[in-house]
Amino acid sequence: MKNLMFYFSLLLIVGCSDNQQQAFTTDDVSNLSSVIENLEITLSAQEDKSIVYENSKVIIIDGNYYLRSRSKDFVTTTLLIKNKEGGLTARGVSCSSSDCAASETGCIPKNDTSCTRCLGGNGDCKKTVTGGGCSDPIED
pLDDT at 20: 58
Query: 58 lies in a domain?
Result: yes
> Tens of pLDDT along 26-59?
888 988 999 999 999 999 999 999 999 999 999 9
Query: 52 lies in a domain?
Result: yes
Question: Distance (Å, rounded) from C-alpha 109 to C-alpha 14?
Answer: 32
In angstroms, what CA-CA distances link 67 with 22, 29, 39?
15, 9, 11
- 8 Å CB contact between 95 and 129: no
Query: 139 lies in a domain?
Result: no
Contacts of 31 (CB under 8 A, 6+ apart): 89, 90
pLDDT at 117: 82
Label residue 92 left, alpha or beta by phi (over 0 means left) and psi (-120 to 50 means alpha). Answer: left
Query: 5 lies in a domain?
Result: no
Query: 13 lies in a domain?
Result: no
Query: 14 lies in a domain?
Result: no
Query: 28 lies in a domain?
Result: yes
Q: In what order do the strands lie in the sheet with 126-129?
A: 53-61, 64-71, 75-82, 88-97, 126-129
- The domain of 79 spans 23-129
Q: What's the domain count of the chain?
A: 1
> Tens of pLDDT along 102-128?
877 788 898 777 888 887 767 788 888
Query: 11 lies in a domain?
Result: no
> What is the pTM (predicted TM-score) of this model?
0.75
